[in-house]
Chain A
Amino acid sequence: MTLGIALAILGAAIAVIACGIGSVKGVGMAGEAAAGVVAEQPEKFGKLLLLQALPGTQGIYGFLGAFWVIMKIQLLSSPIDISTVTGWQILFACLPIAITGLISGIHQGRVVTSGISTVAKRGEESGKMIILAAMVETYAVLGLLASILLINGIPVE
């Protein structure tokens, strides 16, 4: 094993951890709000669950970024001995999804939380609230895309 591989693993780890934190915060605050609404209107559980799930995608994106790294250096079969420089490259390429995932997860959680209070009053508007939350997610999607394309472009071996 080389330092390069260690750096690549660090990049993958950061992506998973940062995005995971973003999602945990987002889903967590949405869940708290939703739990309050369920106390009064249990029939809205389905809609609320859908809303709560939205900030959860960042965590998945972080995982996807990490998996892309794993595939790139074939960590699961016979790891490619990448150089230290390549390792740094992969680490940097992980940053877009790591940072956008962390921050957008939290902010999407906030939008969803406000959305939940709207749904509590007007259940029929949940579709609009979902779209509003998706506006935030765009940037995590772009972050993931950038990370994937960057990693894809890094020459290994």
Chain B
Amino acid sequence: MAIISMQKVNIIGFKEDERKILKFLQEKGLMEIIEKEEALSSNELGGKSEEEIDTYIARTSFALEFLDGLEKEKQNFIDAFLGAKIKVSKKKFNKVLRNFKYDKVLNTCERIDDEIARLKEETKNQEKEKELLFSWEDFPYRFSEVGATDKVALIFGTIPQSEKDKLVTKINSKLPCTHVQVIKRDKSEAFLMIVFLKKEENNVNNFLREFNFNERKLSYDFDATAKERIEEIDKEIASLQKRINSQKQKAIELLRYRLDLKCFYDSLLLKRNAEDTKRKFTSTEKVLLISGWIAKDNFRFLKENLAKISQNTALIEVKPRRGEEAPVAIHNKGIITPFEAVTKIYGMPKSTELDPTPFLSFFFILFFGVCLSDAGYGILLMILSRIALRKLDLGLEGKKLIKLLFYGGISTLIVGALFGSWFGASPDIFPESFGAIKTFLLKIKLIDPVKNPVNVLILSLALGILQIIFGIGVSMYGKILKKDYKNALLTDALWIIFIVLLVFFALTNVGVLPSTLQVTSKLLVIISTVGLVLTQGRHQKNIFLKIGSGVLSLYKVIGYLSDTLSYSRLLALGLSTAIIGIVVNMVAQLCRDMIPYVGVVVMALILIGGHLFNLAISSLGSFIHSGRLQFVEFFTKFLEGGGNTFKPFRRETKYIEIGD
């Protein structure tokens, strides 16, 4: 239950054992490796192998994407949501890598992709040609037969539809030896062929210009009509399509290598990670020095196993440099473990501070319960998280989160029962057939936040004051552990006394405690205030500064007050859950009454959907706000935070989880 104590170590060994040591460290994942500032190894690993790894990573990633494009991998929604990895045993992983002919598969993938791209390009070209030919579709002659003779010439082109008739009339009347043939027409334009005598060329041209004729050069000379050619192209496109499909078919055969590719990809990642880490080593030609941090408890294990790798390897404890901060990892036992997930959201404490996890656990789960505050949702949450734990393949952190939700369910059940809220309904309206259960539920119902919000507000604020005092208490505990008795007593203890007295004074004033105590409490508050003024400026040298600082320190009261008010969110979130629940029930009831025949079915659907929605949205809110109260209101009393998370050198993969 605390911060794991860290030990800085050096591993010294022979260069020839480097690979084995590296592999061992990566596999066990126990050591964070740091860079020696006087690192010698400039780039002796040879950039080439690294480049090669990167190229292979890119190629494999491409191949996987390519295969994904062919057939999406089936993954259920939750696995996709969690980004679950495939579990493969170490033995199988190695076997796959040994037997996998990656070059062949990668080359095939790339070849197929190139081929498909080429065929698609070809198809596109054919389609473009076909499109151009469309305007010639009704031209009945083979292009090779069309052409000028000694006396006769041809011209092709388009003309606006409105001008066509005028042109034809004019040519017919003025130039009887000229023939105009319409090849194709659409709404706006007509496509014409005009045959004329060469000697009349100038006249024809003049007419054409007059009517906005737009010439189109004949660029085909093949021995077929446009129609025949289009048919030919269609055939060609179909055959191209067939070839694309056959390539795809070939690619689909590659799908069975998907797992192999993933293993290969991850093995490359591991290799690159190892190469990157290697650069942090200090090495001479023969000797190797690895510097880093390990948990003290792992020292013996590492030492023994390193010795097994090679007799020439040693693990040595080293003293950290002055001001060098150890990385931080936390470890808690049993029921507290899941709460590490909350601490991790905030970040690690400093290596010299306390691990806040055990201290926040009780309040976090209590506040979660007060925010969700519906016994029915509590039960549902417990069931759902149980199922999730059993059925889903969660990582270590995911499991912590789900367990936390399970505890949250318990807490919600208790708080909800006390508030008398069961899926948005109060036990009063339960049917009489519930008998003893109803009586029991009514008996344990202490307070109804919807009817008595003010009482719950007071309860929330009281919980807030309690946690703030507890927070200062933790700070005191931390100082005592460090044997800083003076500050523990004069700062933290004094403040706790002051706050307690202030609350005491307030209670006598509002009549909760007998008013005969008013004078006493007032006196006590004054005495403790004086005490604070006298002590809180003790670090100052000058007597005036001492007093001034002391008075200024009273300003902290404002901070504590605003912290306390922040706990009013407990009521607001609790009410929000309760009211949404009530609304769901009300709408469901309305539907049952208003819709004939199927009303009951609609009601059931609304009840299930509505309450699940409320559970989801309210649990999210409860988790976030309960967390916020820990981070902003609670941690600030005793924790600075900002420690470096312990990041051991280990296997980090993308697709595969390598088992033992």
Q: What residues make up the interface of A, taking CB atoms closer than 8 Å to B?
A: 43-46, 50, 53-54, 56-57, 60-61, 63-64, 67-68, 76, 127-128, 130-131, 134-135, 137-138, 141-142, 144-145, 148-149, 152
Contacts and interface: CB of A to CB of B under 8 A. Distances in A.
Contacts of A149: 453-454, 457
B555 interface: no
B347 interface: yes
Given A57-B617, A60-B580, A141 B625 contact: yes
B455 to A, nearest CB: 12
B579 A135 contact: no
A124 to B, nearest CB: 9
B579 A152 contact: no
Given A45-B81, A53-B620, A131 B579 contact: no
Contacts of B344: 127
Contact of B80 (A43, A76, A130): A43
B624 A131 contact: yes
Contacts of B620: 50, 53
B586 A76 contact: yes
Nearest to A133: B624
Interface stretch (B19-27, B115-123, B383-391, B566-574): B566-574
Chain B residues touching A, range: 20 to 34
A130 B453 contact: no
B299 interface: no
A134 B621 CA distance: 9
B627 interface: yes
B575 interface: yes
Contact of B625 (A50, A64, A134): A134
Contacts of A68: 579
Contact of B621 (A57, A142, A145): A57
Contacts of B575: 64, 144, 148
A124 B276 CA distance: 21
B559 interface: no
A53 B617 contact: yes
A57 B586 CA distance: 21
Interface in B555-596: 566, 568-569, 571-573, 575-576, 579-580, 582-583, 586
Contacts of B632: 135
A138 B583 CA distance: 23
Contacts of A56: 617
A148 B453 contact: yes
Contacts of A128: 345-347
A63 B571 CA distance: 17
A130 B568 CA distance: 20
A157 to B, nearest CB: 17
B545 interface: no
B580 A64 contact: yes
Given A45-B81, A131-B631, A152-B453, A64 B579 contact: yes
Given A50-B620, A135-B632, A141-B572, 5 more contacts: A57-B621, A63-B583, A64-B576, A145-B568, A148-B575
B624 A144 contact: no
Most chain B beta-carbon neighbours within 10 Å: one of A50, A60, A131, A145:
A145
A145 B624 contact: no
A141 B457 CA distance: 13
A46 B82 contact: yes
30 contacts: A43-B80, A44-B83, A46-B83, A50-B620, A53-B617, A53-B620, A57-B617, A60-B617, A67-B583, A76-B586, A128-B345, A128-B346, A130-B345, A130-B624, A131-B345, A131-B346, A131-B628, A135-B628, A135-B632, A138-B569, A141-B625, A142-B568, A142-B569, A142-B572, A144-B575, A144-B576, A145-B568, A148-B572, A149-B457, A152-B453
Nearest to B401: A127
B569 A131 contact: no
Given A64-B579, A68-B579, A148-B575, A43 B457 contact: no
Nearest to A97: B572
Contacts of A135: 628, 632
A134 B624 contact: yes
Contacts of A144: 572, 575-576
Contacts of B624: 54, 130-131, 134, 137
Contacts of A67: 579, 582-583
Nearest to B573: A141
A67 B585 CA distance: 13
B620 to A, nearest CB: 7
A23 B155 CA distance: 67
Contacts of B454: 149, 152
A41 B457 CA distance: 43
Contacts of B628: 131, 134-135, 138
Contacts of A137: 624-625
A43 B85 CA distance: 11
A69 to B, nearest CB: 12
Most chain B beta-carbon neighbours within 10 Å: one of A44, A45, A127, A149:
A127
A128 B642 CA distance: 13
Contact of A127 (B81, B345, B568): B345
A89 to B, nearest CB: 17
Interface string B529-568: 0000000000000000000000000000000000000101
Nearest to A126: B345
A61 B572 CA distance: 9
B525 to A, nearest CB: 28
Interface string B59-96: 00000000000000000000011110000000000000
A46 B80 CA distance: 8
Contacts of B573: 141
Contact of A61 (B80, B82, B576, B631): B576
For the complex of A and B, the 8 pairs showing the least CB-CB separation, nearest first, are A127-B345, A46-B81, A145-B572, A43-B83, A134-B624, A141-B572, A141-B569, A64-B579
B240 to A, nearest CB: 31
B617 A131 contact: no
Nearest to A68: B579
A135 B627 CA distance: 11
A57 B627 CA distance: 17
Contacts of A152: 453-454
Most chain B beta-carbon neighbours within 10 Å: one of A64, A128, A137, A142:
A64
Contacts of A64: 575-576, 579-580
Most chain B beta-carbon neighbours within 10 Å: one of A63, A67, A76, A131:
A131
